[in-house]
Chains A and B, each alone.
Chain A
Amino acid sequence: KAGVTQTPRYLIKTRGQQVTLSCSPISGHRSVSWYQQTPGQGLQFLFEYFSETQRNKGNFPGRFSGRQFSNSRSEMNVSTLELGDSALYLCASSSTTGGLLYEQYFGPGTRLTVT
């Protein structure tokens, strides 16, 4: 079974541009979560999608948005990029919708650099 894949793996953008990152969850997984990881702030939750609906959202400005398609693949978009958006963006998928003790499988991440 293939793991979580994220594309692209590395990205360099200029301030003011926008970027779209893609995440393909493990086959059969309907929940996709996105996290931002920076040296200063650590790992922070961005949002979670389940069956094409956003179920939860972290404390990020509206420049950060996402969506999920019918095949559970998810994209996140960052508009008007700022230097502080440089980070590793991690996607995680899971199959369980209830309970607490289930694994979330993470992808390798997309490393975004904003210059």
Chain B
Amino acid sequence: AQKITQTQPGMFVQEKEAVTLDCTYDTSDPSYGLFWYKQPSSGEMIFLIYQGSYDQQNATEGRYSLNFQKARKSANLVISASQLGDSAMYFCAMRENSGYSTLTFGKGTMLLVSP
């Protein structure tokens, strides 16, 4: 079974609008971390934001926020005020307590921001 599911292969948004990228996860480990990475066409993975399974509040980093709903096992990324430079692939990933540094990634969502 897939551990990380991203159901949106592609998303379109206009500049300055907000967009939500979906991510659901599956784990039996009570302790885990959830991460979002951005991958521009250059290929490098850029860390955006993370959330721990025991965190009570949703994580925020500038224009990025993570909508964490533990009971639903979802960790959606919200980008406010989209910019043209946000056009990229976005990956949701999970690190389980038993997995050392191993990240399990979803298939990704391609975000295109139009003027």
Contacts and interface: CB of A to CB of B under 8 A. Distances in A.
Of the four ranges (under 10, 10 to 19, 20 to 34, 35 or more), the interface on chain A belongs to 20 to 34
B97 A100 contact: yes
B103 A104 contact: yes
Interface in A60-115: 88, 90, 92, 94, 100-101, 103-109, 111
B50 A101 contact: yes
A108 B100 contact: no
B53 to A, nearest CB: 8
B45 interface: yes
Contacts of B91: 43
A15 interface: no
Nearest to A3: B44
Given A42-B107, A100-B95, A88 B101 contact: no
B80 interface: no
A109 B101 contact: no
Nearest to B96: A100
Contacts of B8: none
Nearest to B46: A106
Contacts of A44: 105
Interface string B67-101: 00000000000000000000000010101110111
A106 B45 contact: yes
A100 B31 contact: yes
Contact of A105 (B33, B47, B107): B47
Contacts of A103: 47, 50
| Residue among B50, B102, B105 with the highest chain A CB neighbour number at 10 A | B102
B105 A42 contact: yes
Nearest to B99: A56
A111 B42 CA distance: 11
A23 to B, nearest CB: 13
Contact of A56 (B42, B46, B97, B100): B100
Nearest to B104: A45
